[in-house]
Amino acid sequence: MRILVVGFGLVVLVGGAAAPAAGQWLVTDARRIGMGGLSLGRSGSLERYNPAYRAVDARADRRGQPKVTIPIPLGIIQFLHDHPHLSSDPAFDPKSTGFNPILVANTILNLPLYLEVKKAPTPTNDVAFTIGRNFLMVNLGQAATLVPEDQFGISGSSRPLDPGFGFKGFRVGVMGWLHDDVAFELGDRLLGFLRDSQPADTNTRYNVLVHGLVEGGFAPTVSYAGRIAGDSTHGFYAGGAVHYYLGLGYGRTDGDAGFITGDTIFAGSNPVTPDGRTLTQYSKPGNTLGHGIGGDIGVAWVSGPVEIGIGVNDIGATITWPDTRLDSAFYHDSTYSRPVANHVETKTKLPVSYVANLAYTVGNTTLGADVLNTGRGSVVHVGGEQRVGLFALRGGVARDQRKRIEFGFGGGLRFGGLGLDVGFWTHTNSLSNERGITMATSLSIY
Amino acid sequence: MRAKWLCLVALTAAAVGCGQGRAIFDIDVFSFLRAANADTLPYVGPLPPGVPDTIPSQAINSLGIGSSSLVDTVRLSGAVDFVNRSGTGNVTFQVYFDTARSAVYTGTPAFSVTGAVTPGVTTTSPFDIPDLPTALKPMFLASKVYVGIRASAGGTIAGTAKLSALRARIVIQDKFF
């Protein structure tokens, strides 16, 4: 019971907070944070998602782009100060009466790399449950607005390794790839029960739609990036890559889990019946490799103070898995599992990711904007930097995948080849609609 | 099984929303007793040998959220009607709670209500217990709580004690799991 509660509760928490984590704030560069997460030049997401940027000159001296950024995780010091005996801290010990899953969830979702200048307050309204033999109603108060009306989840498409070698713009390599996607969606009845404080009905099914997918492998890749026209100050760059995806393994499950109430809410020998069904598909490592072809394209245009780029990844990347097993499972009073098919062909599709960016530099001022979509909503960053002698001032605004607006601001100090940057950003989590402020610090080597 | 599924949903919602707030459970205990016809208890005094002055203990679904939570307050309110047939005296109505059926009547009552009765008259005695003794509070965290009722007659009287309402308002601190 307790495990179920913690597990399901944390899934909700993770889901609610996943969007900004996946799409925006996994950034350790205080400069980017100070500009609201904006990527400039070859920093951040641009080179990852736009193959043309491999050929674009970083122009470190013009944009103040460092060669190396080293984060200074002051937040860890703060965290260890607050929790000096972590192994015996009751708040982190599930067996303790002081165990606080909210704190644990927040620690995981907001890794304490940064210094919390202002903590995001959590809702303090009371939650009321009215229970009778044939009555159940939940009133979450203001917190009900946190119950997601639409699908929520975590999704990511990453390329953890990309070794290779190149010559005159061409590059041959082997790229690792990993795609995960977890999604939940509350059924209308359960949504009404939790969000709208509708009393539970008898003989009614309450359900959650569940989807999970993880797949990974490697992809021999041939790519090209180069300047098609112009020179380093006025140039048009193009890049492209063709991947032959080889899938080592994948697993996917699509389910509908819930329960059906009985004739009376809290009475009878069997007042509620768990009810669920899933279709699971998987191709284990060792089976015949999955395969598919896809590609990336990107262009970048640099003309004096203006820089524009567009990149699209994993175009047409459909993976065919020739040796897949399909199992169905039902639960209604007891578990029934039945193999559906084995050694059959199935297909999965990698999400198409895209990035578009614009930067404008005049004198010591740089302004920019970018849009990044990795398959689960767009993240928008708009920001800028003003350099004044040794100092730099930065500011920016971001809209995360939950369409929440966050703000960034900060500054930097540069001594020759070494710089110290400080960035502040506002953030919200799944437990609150109010913003907290975090401070990031990093050292830059130019 | 019984309440667990609903506790799961409720606690999930609470995990999302409660933060540092409180969770308040308002349980209509009377609805469980009435359904089991355990809301009525005859009384007679002096009590003849072999005649029980209690009801068989009844199970009610409680929170089922484990012992790591902290119960702040358990408030009980309701009313009992003493329908007196004969005699003049006092009737003491006692309510017991325990997580073990066999131990319901072995401890001290959670609370008592006393009504002065006269022949042919129904006496209504409302009660409002702001907070139960601390020792009794944790038992409401269990998934099932057994409730018992005892009606003790003082004097030569006979009648029926009828519970007309009994609600438990349980306030839980933010230590859900």
Closest CA in chain A for residue B26: A130
CATH number at residue B58: 2.60.120
Spans in chain A with pLDDT lower than 70? 1-27, 41-44, 58-64, 96-102, 105-106, 109-110, 121-124, 268-270, 429-433
pLDDT in tens, A151-192: 877 777 888 888 899 888 899 999 999 999 988 899 999 999
Hey, are the CB atoms on A5 and B16 less than 8 Å from each other?
Answer: no
CA A5 – CA A7 distance, rounded (Å): 5
Hey, are the CB atoms on A133 and B32 less than 8 Å from each other?
Answer: yes
Hey, are the CB atoms on B17 and A140 less than 8 Å from each other?
Answer: yes
pLDDT for A320 equals 96
Mutation site for B-interface testing, chosen from A96, A126, A127, A333 by largest number of B Cβ within 10 Å: A127
Domain membership of residue B13 (yes or no) is no
pTM to 2 decimal places:
0.70
CA A54 – CA B38 distance, rounded (Å): 79
Q: What is the ipTM of this complex?
A: 0.81
CA A149 – CA A195 distance, rounded (Å): 8
CA A116 – CA A76 distance, rounded (Å): 10
Question: Which residues in chain A are closer than 8 Å to B143, comparing Cβ atoms?
Answer: 1
SS3 state at B177? coil
Domain membership of residue B14 (yes or no) is no
pLDDT for A14 equals 44
Q: Is A131 exposed, middle or buried (0-12, 13-18, 19+ CB in 10 A)?
A: buried
Domain map (residue ranges) of chain A:
2-445
Contact map slice: B 12-51 vs A, CB within 8 A: 12-28, 31-32, 34-35
Greater pLDDT, B162 or A335: B162
Measured in angstroms, the CA of A11 and the nearest CA of chain B are apart by 9
Question: Which residues in chain A are closer than 8 Å to B173, comparing Cβ atoms?
Answer: none
Hey, are the CB atoms on B26 and A136 less than 8 Å from each other?
Answer: no
Domain membership of residue B81 (yes or no) is yes
Chains A, B: CB pairs < 8 Å: 153
- The domain tally of chain B equals 1
State the DSSP code for A192: H
CA A381 – CA A394 distance, rounded (Å): 13
Segment B105-131 mean pLDDT: 93
Domain membership of residue B1 (yes or no) is no
Question: Which residues in chain B are closer than 8 Å to A12, comparing Cβ atoms?
Answer: 12, 15-16
CA A438 – CA A31 distance, rounded (Å): 14
pLDDT for A429 equals 60
pLDDT for A10 equals 45
Hey, are the CB atoms on B6 and A266 less than 8 Å from each other?
Answer: yes
Q: Which tokens belong to B116?
A: 């002065």
Residue B175, pLDDT above cutoff 60: no
Rounded to 10 deg, the angle between the A2-23 and A101-109 helix axes is: 30
State the DSSP code for A287: B
Hey, are the CB atoms on B1 and A265 less than 8 Å from each other?
Answer: no
Hey, are the CB atoms on B177 and A2 less than 8 Å from each other?
Answer: yes
Residue B69, pLDDT above cutoff 50: yes
Facing residue for A127 by CB, picked from B3, B17, B68: B17
Segment B129-137 mean pLDDT: 90
> For residue B59, what are the domain limits?
21-174
Contact map slice: B 118-177 vs A, CB within 8 A: 143, 174-177
Quickly list DSSP for A106-163: HHHHT-TTSEEEEPPPPP---EEEEEETTEEEEE-GGGGGGS-SS-EEEEEEE-----
Domain membership of residue B10 (yes or no) is no
For A207, list phi and psi in degrees, rounded to 5. -145, 165
CA B33 – CA B148 distance, rounded (Å): 10
Hey, are the CB atoms on B10 and A94 less than 8 Å from each other?
Answer: no
Domain membership of residue B156 (yes or no) is yes
Domain membership of residue B7 (yes or no) is no
Question: Which residues in chain B are closer than 8 Å to A126, comparing Cβ atoms?
Answer: 18, 21-24
Closest CA in chain A for residue B59: A267
Measured in angstroms, the CA of A12 and the nearest CA of chain B are apart by 7
CA B25 – CA B168 distance, rounded (Å): 8
- Indicate the average pLDDT of chain B: 83
